[in-house]
Amino acid sequence: MEPNNNPPPPSNATHHHHDGGSTTTTCVNCGGPTAFPPPPPDPNPNYIPIRAPAVNLPPANNREIIMRTPVPQSHQIIPLTPPYHFQTPIKIIQTQNDIVQFSSSSTCLHFLGFIVSLSESIRSHKLSDHCHVSPAVLEIVEILQTLIVYIDEIPLAPQSSRYGNLAYRTWHERMSCDAESFLLRLLPLELKEASVELVPYFTDSFGNSSRIDYGTGHETNFAAWLYCLARLGVVKEEGYHALVSRVFVKYLELMRKLQVTYSLEPAGSHGVWGLDDYHFLPFIFGASQLIDHKYMKPKSIHNEDILENFANEYLYLSCIVFIKKVKKGLFAEHSPMLDDISGVPNWNKVNSGLLKMYKIEVLQKVPIMQHFLFGSIIQWKKKDNGDRGLELNEAVWKNIERFLPSW
Summarize pLDDT for 75-114 with one digit per residue, the tens.
Answer: 999 999 999 999 999 999 999 999 999 999 999 999 999 9
pLDDT > 70 fraction of the chain, expressed in percent and rounded? 77
11-25, 212-226, 391-405: range with lowest mean pLDDT: 391-405
Report pLDDT for 258.
Answer: 97
Confidence of residue 393 (pLDDT cuts 50, 70, 90): very low
Q: How far apart are CA 192 and CA 222, in angstroms?
A: 19
Residue 17: its pLDDT value, please? 47
pLDDT band at 287; cut points 50, 70, 90: very high
Pairing of strands 265-266, 373-374: unpaired
Question: In the structure, what pLDDT confidence band is assigned to residue 298 with cuts at 50, 70 and 90?
Answer: very high
Q: Please answer whether residues 220 and 362 qualify as being in contact, where contact means their C-beta atoms are separated by less than 8 angstroms.
A: yes
> Is residue 214 within a helix (H) or strand (E), and if so which, with residue range?
strand 213-214
Instruction: Say whether pLDDT at 274 is over 50.
Output: yes
Question: Using 50, 70 and 90 to split pLDDT, how confident is the model at 382?
Answer: low
Mean pLDDT of the 266-281 span: 77
Q: What mean pLDDT comes out for the span 44-67?
A: 51
Question: Would the pLDDT of 233 be above 70?
Answer: yes
Q: Which amino acid is at 267?
A: A
pLDDT digits (tens, 9 = 90+) for 15-52: 444 444 444 555 555 666 666 555 555 555 444 443 33
- Residue-level pLDDT at 71: 86
Confidence bin at 400 (pLDDT 50/70/90): very low
pLDDT, tens only, 204-220: 999 999 999 999 999 99
**5 pLDDT higher than 80:** no
CB count within 10 Å of CB 42 equals 16
- The string of pLDDT tens digits covering residues 314-349 is 999 999 999 999 998 999 999 999 999 999 999 999
Rounded average pLDDT over 177-187: 96
190-203 mean pLDDT: 97
pLDDT of residue 232: 97
Angle at 229 between CA 219 and CA 355, to 5 degrees: 40
Provide the mean pLDDT of the chain: 84
Q: Residue range 140-155: average pLDDT?
A: 97
Q: Is the pLDDT of residue 272 over 70?
A: no
State what percent of residues in the chain have pLDDT above 90: 70
Distance between CA 218 and CA 267 in Å, rounded? Answer: 9
- What is the per-residue pLDDT across 359-377, written as a single tens digit (0 to 9) for each? 999 999 999 999 999 999 9
Query: Distance between CA atoms of 218 and 172, rounded to whole angstroms?
Result: 13
Distance CA 361, CA 104 (A): 15
> In this structure, what DSSP letter does residue 265 have?
E
Residue 407 pLDDT greater than 80, yes or no: no
Residue 32's closest CA among 50, 45, 20, 47? 20
